[in-house]
A and B are shown apart, each in its own frame.
Chain A
Amino acid sequence: MLKAVLLVLRLALGVVLFYAGFLKLRDGYAFAEAIANFRLLPAQANQIMAVVLPWLEVATGLLLVFGVWVRAAGLLAALLFVAFLGAIALALWRGLDIECGCFGTGSAARVGLKALAFDALWLVAALAVLWSTPPAVGGGKMKDEG
């Protein structure tokens, strides 16, 4: 039962990450502006992030869906959601009313408690996947278990 739940969690986490990354790929320009609105990083960092982050989400999502390198992907997913949570929490704390950009730009989703709760839930899912996956023993000679 627990195994089935964890499998569903892993697949759902993968699909969400893949979908979110895929939507962001459509317009890197607008996504860079969405990141800039968070007022956290310098322009160059925002631009690099706008280009790299969508592909990182897509790659992490695909690994989770196909059950390849699950612990590494779980680690990345957890780190991504920690970063998103931090960015959203800071924006809320500073009273910024901005577009979330969580699922790309133009989705009209705003930064708010809903986005915060959404990210917190997926962080829990990522940690569950991470902690339920046995390590790759022997430097990757053993096949990862999904």
Chain B
Amino acid sequence: MNSPASKPPAGTDTNFPAGTDTNFRQFGNWLSVPAGPWKTDFLRAAAVVFFSAMLALATNYCCAYPVPLLASDGPGALPERAERIGVEEFKKLVASQKAVLLLDVRRDEVFNAGHAAGSLHTPFEDFAAQYERLNLDAKLQAADEVVLICESDDCLTADRAAKLLKDLHYPNVRVFYGGWSAYAEAGFPVEAAGENEPVIQSQSKIENPMPGGPR
């Protein structure tokens, strides 16, 4: 439609000397910025955002653990930071013969790959179900200290679980500082799914093996 002799399309700068690429606006000799309509590109960008959002919503609700988008206390909320217990303090606690209950709030797959020996699996997403199934109330009542383990210290799930337990009036709930990575690194006894004996124990590092072990 546009023969070389015909009028250039609207939006094209006609003040350039012949032979200049009119798709670019020259600023001096070195900087050229694309000229022409941006409207199309903005509309396309908006379309990409829209379709990504639609796809995101559709896939979110099809999955095992949908993110509650509009919940004010969902994973996007910053919970109150629970009291932490560090490696040294945990060693002392274990050595003190107190009844320690270890609760692991991580997902199935990471828990199964390795977890603290004797810890109970209470993934936060179905905490209520686990509470019933594991008869957690009795175990929590019997424990002197409850220690929660999540993946790392950035994992807010442990803080959320600690708050839940405090709200349910279980005192002495603390979160293991640094989470599972710090726990495993410190050389405490660990085990994998379906085993009761430690599998990746680094004995040399363990100064105070847990007497009796946490239940």
Contact = CB atoms under 8 A, between A and B. Distances in A.
Interface of A: 25, 27-30, 32-37, 39, 41-52, 54-56, 58-60, 63, 69, 71-73, 75-76, 98-99, 105-106, 108, 130-140
Interface in B16-34: 21, 23-24, 32-34
B212 interface: no
Nearest 7 CB-CB pairings of A with B: A46-B76, A72-B44, A135-B36, A43-B77, A134-B23, A32-B75, A47-B76
Nearest to A52: B56
B168 interface: no
Interface residues of B, number: 54
A63 B9 CA distance: 27
Nearest to B24: A134
Contacts of A138: 9
Contacts of B154: 33-34, 37, 98-99, 105
B60 interface: yes
Contacts, number: 160
A105 B169 CA distance: 32
A12 B67 CA distance: 30
A98 B56 CA distance: 25
Contacts of B76: 32-33, 35-36, 41-47, 49-50
A39 B45 CA distance: 27
A47 B75 contact: yes
Contact of A136 (B40, B48, B53, B71): B40
B105 to A, nearest CB: 12
23 contacts: A27-B107, A29-B65, A32-B67, A33-B154, A34-B154, A42-B72, A43-B73, A44-B70, A46-B75, A46-B76, A52-B56, A55-B55, A69-B48, A71-B44, A106-B152, A130-B34, A131-B34, A132-B34, A134-B24, A134-B34, A135-B37, A137-B37, A140-B44
B63 to A, nearest CB: 8
Given A29-B75, A72-B48, A137-B9, A47 B56 contact: no
